Structure 1
Amino acid sequence: MASSAPLGADISEPEITNISIHGFWLLFEGEEHFLSFDDFPWFRDAPVASIFNLEQPHPGHLYWPDLDVDLGIATIKSPENYPLIAG
């Protein structure tokens, strides 16, 4: 049976699902990822509202405008492959 939903309608927007003292969880394209503050220090002292303010300007690419943090999903999945340039 064919779906009447528009193409791509089953893909949800990226979402922050939880924040702890160690980092936060991001639900993106059906997968949950943990971004630790050790690996992603730009978020450590950020206001909660700024972490939740998340955009996806391009497929596979996330942007936190309040923090001017721009990350690709490859960096989120494997931060050890992308050494920090600024901290």
Structure 2
Amino acid sequence: MTWTTPPPERHGEHCPAKNRSDEPGSVAELVNFGIQNMIVYGCQFALQVGRILREEKLLSGDESYCAYRGKVRFRVIPGVF
């Protein structure tokens, strides 16, 4: 008997991109500690903080947001930001 279609693959092999551990943001980056990973996450964190500060500056011109800001002390991370 000859196969007319390829044999069935094992679970997970049909989508190799989901099995890759070298993609940014993968679980392997969190588990495998390294200076490169710390640099990447540090840069991402710094960019996120900069974005939040710029957004706050832009929204502070809106009266309704100023009223909201007066009611809510921490808007992103409770106790921090």
Greater Cα radius of gyration, structure 1 or 2: 2
Q: Please report the TM-score for the alignment, with normalisation by the length of structure 1.
A: 0.25
Greater helix share, 1 or 2?
A: 2
